[in-house]
Structure 1
């Protein structure tokens, strides 16, 4: 008898598999030209189903041949734990209270398979368990005889389709569109006792039943968890700046990904150089006292102890060797007169921002000041170029130097006045009055007067050239014209000195002597008390007039 029951179960499993494969092929169909469906959601780990169930039994209790009728009202519930995306273990319970028949209750467990798709999930299951079933509660012509409730084996095979509903709050729901099952159970109600017709005394009829059932169900599915684990937490960190000098602050910042928003992550930091402080994703590194080199800082983020719930990051930073300061300097003005001063300005910088001190030296003159600005005094310095050296030192003893120059200009050389030869007057034109200042001489004398008036501190040397008294007379006559002559030059007589020369010609030479000029040898001074000046209009001597007649 049991081999017959297992053959029936095999046929049920094959039928359920065929239904599932057909549904899968139907779900795999796509419309030509339609975009491919996006990847489905992450399948659930646990499904809880509850809903309405209809039971349609087919079979009789033998040997009385009393048949079962369908039960239109029933409830069903199941719980499935999925080992992976496709296979899981299932427990199921259904209750079908009696109508004309007594109630039937099923409790089963077994394996389930599913095919998750976008929005839909197809499933099939095979279960085995126990059924607590009563016989028909009245027999033909004998309503007082009943079958007692008995436990018997049950086998279930079937499948169905779920539709994924939108999330409600934090719950994932599905609508079980249908679940169609074949359910078999076997019951033994004890020895059969025939009961005469119209027997008025109640009793137990007895007998056995092998019942094939069609069960249809629908309801809601509550889904928990997920099959695919969430992506692992990742952590990346950066430092700013990536290189610094000892004592400079460095900030490290970590960025975590794939954190669970429902959990509060914890952060921690360690470093193999410097002191690090911070309990969030940002920390500060104190690099005071670190030697030059490369160090590593490590960050850790955690939202649990399981793999994938924590992550680490490591990032290096560099401490640069200390750099000496730099300096440039300039002078303003860069060229001065002897005894003047120049301002020296230094522009220094320490790459580490260390405190700086200044000092100066010069090849001449004197320096006053030890700040970035000082003064060079050139008192006592000779004309030429002075080199100023500007020095700077930091608190580590590292130094730098620069130079600038200041030129002392030499004073202008004194102007040495020199004599100047002016025009020369010839006395050869008037034979009767050889000492007369004629009109030609007058033009030269007017020019000489202009030179004397332009230079009020200059003097004039007038030298009459020739022999005897005539040379002196000519010189005196020229002076007379310049001081009292008709030209009205009005030159101070003290500015004009008259001399006689020995050149032997009949001329008078005129030499302008500026102030400061060294006087030369202009001839023999004329004694003006003995040689009196003659007017330009004086008549010629008598012997000259008689000779003319």
Structure 2
């Protein structure tokens, strides 16, 4: 029997599929005075990572080569199984405190059928070097970009924010920006984009991030510039119809879909307009009757505008009142009879018939009869008699109400009687005196003939 082979070394390499399981390849050589022993095995391994220390185990299979003194070297089946403890010393270096393994090997020596079944215990220790990652491979550096707000009007700022991931925290990141529109201000993790003058459309900002080594990433953020919308305006007038010189109030309401500041302007086709912000007062003093158009315009700070029209109608002034009714001369009659200068003859009666018809057609009118005389006529009160006789014909023959006829004397038109019609509400303006008809009576045209004295019949003698 062999007393042992104390000297030797072991080299092992493990590949870990995950945190717990892997595959191990192990080789070793052991040198003794009477024997040399070499191994090469491969098999599964496992570990249980604990804070600071890692227990492990393995079971490998392969070949063993034994070279005893006096015999030819032989290679046979081999098995190695065992475990141990690793102490974490540095990030890439651990100390193998102990590894205890059982090794088995089977060998045939020579034609004589000499067999050797080797079973041995192996105690070892040393250093463990870690290569690669203990876990899954680290994710590559990446970044995400965001724009706020995403929908704007030209001239409104956009903020771009970059969120980097998986970069080495010990390295300083640098940011570089490009944009398809607008001007990027800044070079940090958050920047602003000046969008002044951009046309409506979609724009992209690209951020490139670097840690100064091999760590790089990029991301995009998109924002939209909306089409500028003009303001709107609606107006109304109160009242819509006014009298000349009156005032109408114009009330307007303007709105900006883009929430821009607004200014107002008002113009009128006639009259005077007094603006008061969105509202105005229209004074129609001096304006002609008819419609007046008020045009109200609203404009935003980008010079986009809209207008609305309001109509105010100025009423035509009422026609002037008709002139007050006036008394007017409608006719006259002559008195040519020398013997009876007061007599109303047939010619005069024909004229009086027309006067009567006029009075009948105008039941609210009155008649003034002015009697006149010629300076050559000496009969006293003749002008009054002529007026009274004419009235007598109208009332007695034509049935005109005597209360509608007034007689006056003192006219200077000659041998006539004038007829003045006085409508309701009018006043006769003449200054001739009114005839006292209680004293001046009409003279009949044909006075009743005087009766002859009655004759007495002769007395008859009585008969006897």
TM-score (ref. length: structure 1): 0.44
Aligned to 2:30: 131
Deviations 1:403-423 (A, max 9, x none): 21112234556787999xxxx
Distance 1:102 1:316, change over 3 A: closer
Aligned to 1:266: 173
TM-superposed CA distance for 1:262, in Å, is 5.6
Distance of 2:180 and 2:198 partners within structure 1: 11
Distance 1:238 1:159, change over 3 A: closer
Distance 1:120 1:469, change over 3 A: closer
The answer (yes or no) to whether the contact 1:106–1:154 under 8 Å persists in 2 is no
Aligned to 2:8: 105
The answer (yes or no) to whether the contact 1:328–1:348 under 8 Å persists in 2 is yes
TM-superposed CA distance for 1:312, in Å, is 1.5
The answer (yes or no) to whether the contact 1:301–1:310 under 8 Å persists in 2 is yes
For the pair 1:217 / 2:82, whether they are aligned, the reply is: yes
Higher RCO by CA contacts (8 Å cutoff, separation 6 or greater):
1
TM-superposed CA distance for 1:364, in Å, is 1.2
The answer (yes or no) to whether the contact 2:394–2:400 under 8 Å persists in 1 is no
The answer (yes or no) to whether the contact 2:5–2:31 under 8 Å persists in 1 is no
TM-superposed CA distance for 1:106, in Å, is 1.9
Distance 1:292 1:102, change over 3 A: closer
For the pair 1:154 / 2:38, whether they are aligned, the reply is: yes
Aligned to 1:337: 243
Give the aligned length: 316
2:204 partner SS = strand
1:380 partner SS = coil
Aligned to 1:481: none
Distance of 2:168 and 2:266 partners within structure 1: 66
Distance of 1:260 and 1:240 partners within structure 2: 25
Distance of 2:394 and 2:317 partners within structure 1: 51
Distance 1:356 1:531, change over 3 A: farther
Distance of 2:65 and 2:439 partners within structure 1: 181
Higher helix proportion: 1
Deviations 1:221-265 (A, max 9, x none): 678715753444444434344454432212234455x53696678
TM-superposed CA distance for 1:365, in Å, is 0.5
2:160 partner SS = strand
Deviations 1:461-520 (A, max 9, x none): 799x996777999957xxxxxxxxxxxxxxxxxxxx6449xxxxxxxxxxxx98xx5689
TM-score (ref. length: structure 2): 0.50
Higher strand proportion: 2
TM-superposed CA distance for 1:285, in Å, is 0.8
TM-superposed CA distance for 1:320, in Å, is 5.6
1:369 partner SS = strand
Aligned to 1:251: 159
TM-superposed CA distance for 1:128, in Å, is 3.7
- Of residues 176, 199, 203, the one that matches 2:56 is 176
Aligned to 2:194: 286
Distance 1:278 1:518, change over 3 A: farther
- Of residues 374, 377, 380, the one that matches 2:280 is 374
